């Protein structure tokens, strides 16, 4: 388990939202939106963190040699209460905010490299989109 790698007194388990591939303008709008609805703070996943395991992004200042490149917008919730996640998803629809792929950090996904998690999320989304298209026809 990853927790053995860290001094548990140094781990910040506070709720937060990790964001991938947002512009500065989008970040400012999101920050304002999050404050308005009482969501936890948002943190940027930098390109040189994209190939790190999610737990390293959350609990260390580590950086990878290689940058991760992906045009998808990802909003990754860590220890955020379900009601808050639902509020973010519901309320963002009526605002001029990007439509990301939403995901929650799980016991499994915290061990994955962020890049692998993104690839999994994109495949999952694309699969759901193709199923919806088949249901319409």
Q: Could you state, in chain order, the average pLDDT of each consecutive group of 10 residues for the chain (137 residues)?
A: 54 94 95 96 96 96 96 97 97 92 97 98 94 81
Position 3 scores a pLDDT of 46
Give the span between the Cα atoms of 75 and 2, in whole angstroms.
Answer: 22
Q: What angle do CA 16, 21, 25 make, to 5 degrees?
A: 85
Q: Are 64 and 51 in contact (CB under 8 A)?
A: yes
The predicted structure's pLDDT at residue 6: 54
What pLDDT score was predicted for residue 1? 42
pTM of the entire predicted model: 0.89
pLDDT of amino acid 11: 84
Question: Which pLDDT belongs to residue 13?
Answer: 92
Residue 74 bridge partners (DSSP):
20, 101
Structural domain boundaries of the chain? 2-136
């Amino acid at each position: 388990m990853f927790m053995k790698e860290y001094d548990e007194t140094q781990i910040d388990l506070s709720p937060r939202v990790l964001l991938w591939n947002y512009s500065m303008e989008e970040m400012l709008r999101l920050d304002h939106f999050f404050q308005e609805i009482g969501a936890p703070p948002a943190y940027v996943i930098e390109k040189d963190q994209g190939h790190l395991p999610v737990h390293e992004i959350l609990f260390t200042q580590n950086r990878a040699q290689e940058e991760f490149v992906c045009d998808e917008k990802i909003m990754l919730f860590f220890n955020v209460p379900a009601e808050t996640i639902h509020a973010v998803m519901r309320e963002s629809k009526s605002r001029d905010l990007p439509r990301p792929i939403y995901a929650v950090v799980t016991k499994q996904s915290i061990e994955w490299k962020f890049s692998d998690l993104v690839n999994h999320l994109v495949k999952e989304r694309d699969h759901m989109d193709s199923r919806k298209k088949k249901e319409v026809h």
